[in-house]
Amino acid sequence: MNSKKNKEPLPTNRRQLLSLLAATSALLMSSTARSTPTAYKNDNLKDANFTKNIDTLKTLDPTPARSIFVIDHTLSGDGGGGHFFWDAQSTDSADDALVIKSNLSSTGRWHRQLQTKNLINVRWFGAVGNGITDDTESIDSALNSLDKAGGTLYFPDGNYLISKTVHLNKDNITLRGNGASRTTLTLDKDSTAEYAIYSDRSSSYKISELTVDVNQKNRANILGDNRRSCGIVLYNCNNSSIHNCIVKNTIGDIKNYSGVAFAIAGRSSRSTISDCSAINCGPDLTRKSDGFFISGEQILTSNCIADSVTDTAFVIESSRFSGLTGCTATNCSAGAAISHADIEHDSSGNFINGLSINNYNATVTGAISINIPIEIKSKTTLTNTVVSNVIITTKKGHGPAINARSVSTNNQITGLSLSNIRIKNSGTQGILAKAENLMISNCDIEDSNDASIQIDGSTQVLIQSCRAIQNNSPIAIAIIDSQKVIIKDSVIDCPPNGEWGIYCYGRETEVISMNNIITGFKNGDIGYDSGATITAMRPSFTKI
């Protein structure tokens, strides 16, 4: 630094220097308070030199070897600065972020001093996060800088505008914001991207602490009728997690596919979505969107919220040993679905354990749908499904609270357990089911607009320790064309409008009623069509 011409443009007076040091100290204190990564190893900057940004760093004489603290990347206050040291032997490719080539020397490089190996801040690559500047290129460059073995891409506070999909194309990548209320990725109003964040056939992803805004208000017309736009989608991915994120304003296409906020789909496995929220998904019923969608094996959705979702809040499709626990759906078209549409494999061992649904309006599927929605030529089935600890309340529901039926004549639902379920004001039936080996236990169903429980075309059915209080339908429990049905230890009551506590339809129907308390029905406790076989067991055996 002997040449005056090549001297660093340092502050011209002591007041400016003190001001700059104060601003830098405030920035460092802010970073520490928020537990965000810093760009240097040593917080003691008293012996360091300063420069304004990456461009001014390039103009410095790099001899003798020294270290420089760069205040910003490009713009004042952009957060992309850091501590750099000169390596006279380096020939690494320059990227204007981690490695800087000097304008004054053809050999040697400025290297950013990293506090944590393979932790990359997107602002180091020029991302601004002001919601106006397109940060797509900077984010892509930051992703590409990660080692082949993966690493962490960190998004400080800000709203990062993206015009294309953030495509995760290597294993072991972590995307981390500074909290879902402080870090947002927003799809640009002119973007036609189908996904905000997407990966296919990779593993070990962690996405956390950020919000994705798909921006439906400004993008629905840009996408056209045949294109949807989704939030975070991991396809055919293993050992991955999405935690403490929000996705909002997703968009479905008009003709074929729903949008989705969160998806771990395809043949994914051993992955989780936890403590996340899907908000305002699908602008209307013509461009519907799901909240959470999982398919694969051993995938868990836990402690998540779906609010104002125009299709299904939580979907478990063609999966094995997958489910959801501790979740909430409010003002959604449907609360949840466990469905089977796989021509090669059975869907088995799936579950819902802990779900609260408030206000659903799906006319056909109802609040919870357990179904085989298509005709499948191979004899694959939906087996060993458990739904428990569920609360369903609604003021505007149009369909059944729980609808467990197959539209396929070749495939069936077998081994279905419904327990500890509370239903109030369902649009039609409380529980509508067609299955083999069906158990309904400890369920409390009140004020359904059709039968509290309706069993149709089923065999080997046990209804036990349930409470059916019926104000709006003449029949509390309806059994249709079903065999080997036992109803026991239940309370069935109807204020003045009820006709039958239990009614059996169909010549082949077989029902045993044991130790039930049935009161308040005008026509009697149990009614049946001619040909139905009904055995009523009270304290003493009675054959009807």
For residue 492, list its beta bridge partners. Answer: 468, 518
For residue 121, list its beta bridge partners. Answer: 154
Question: What is the reported pLDDT for 63?
Answer: 79
> Residue 61 in 3-state DSSP?
coil
- Between 425 and 158, whose confidence is greater? 158
User: Does the pLDDT value for residue 400 go beyond 70?
Assistant: yes
Q: What does DSSP say about strands 82-87 and 109-112: parallel, antiparallel, or unpaired?
A: antiparallel
User: Is the bond leading into 62 cis (omega within 30 degrees of zero)?
Assistant: no
User: Does the pLDDT value for residue 55 go beyond 60?
Assistant: yes
Q: What is the pLDDT of residues 365-385, one digit of tens each?
A: 889 999 877 666 566 788 999
Q: Pick from 218, 222, 226, 208: which is nearest to 262 by CA?
A: 208
Task: For residues 430 and 520, give the distance between their C-alpha atoms in angstroms, rounded to a whole number.
Answer: 19
User: Does the pLDDT value for residue 221 go beyond 90?
Assistant: no
Q: What is the pLDDT of residues 461-482, one digit of tens each?
A: 999 999 999 877 889 999 999 9
User: Does the pLDDT value for residue 5 go beyond 70?
Assistant: no
Task: For residues 543 and 328, give the distance between their C-alpha atoms in angstroms, rounded to a whole number.
Answer: 45
Q: How confident is the model at residue 3 (pLDDT cuts 50, 70, 90)?
A: very low
Q: How confident is the model at residue 302 (pLDDT cuts 50, 70, 90)?
A: very high
Of all helices (H) and strands (E), which one includes residue 234?
strand 230-235
For residue 357, list its beta bridge partners. Answer: 329, 392
For the CA atoms of 366, 372, 373, 376, the dihedral, rounded to the nearest 10 degrees, stands at -170
Q: Considering the chain, what percentage of its residues have pLDDT values greater than 90?
A: 65
Q: Pick from 267, 265, 118, 131: which is nearest to 189 by CA?
A: 131
Task: For residues 125 and 186, give the distance between their C-alpha atoms in angstroms, rounded to a whole number.
Answer: 18
Q: How confident is the model at residue 530 (pLDDT cuts 50, 70, 90)?
A: confident
Q: What is the pLDDT of residues 197-211, one digit of tens each?
A: 999 988 999 999 999
Task: For residues 246 and 184, give the distance between their C-alpha atoms in angstroms, rounded to a whole number.
Answer: 9
Task: For residues 50 and 538, give the distance between their C-alpha atoms in angstroms, rounded to a whole number.
Answer: 90
Task: For residues 78 and 128, give the distance between their C-alpha atoms in angstroms, rounded to a whole number.
Answer: 6
Question: What is the reported pLDDT for 523?
Answer: 85
Residue 94's alpha-carbon distances to 51, 65, 97, 101, 112, in angstroms, are 19, 18, 8, 6, 11
Would the pTM of this model clear 0.95, i.e. be above it?
Answer: no
> Two tokens at 159?
């709203």
Q: Considering the chain, what percentage of its residues have pLDDT values greater than 70?
A: 85
- Between 427 and 321, whose confidence is greater? 321
- In angstroms, how far is the first alpha carbon of the chain from the final one? 107
Residue 72's alpha-carbon distances to 20, 57, 80, 125, 128, in angstroms, are 12, 10, 5, 11, 11
- Judge whether 184 and 211 are in contact, CB under 8 Å: yes
Average pLDDT taken over every residue of the chain:
86
> Residue 514 in 3-state DSSP?
strand
User: Does the pLDDT value for residue 285 go beyond 60?
Assistant: yes
**One-letter amino acid of 38:** T
- E strand map for 35-102: 49-51, 67-70, 82-87, 99-100
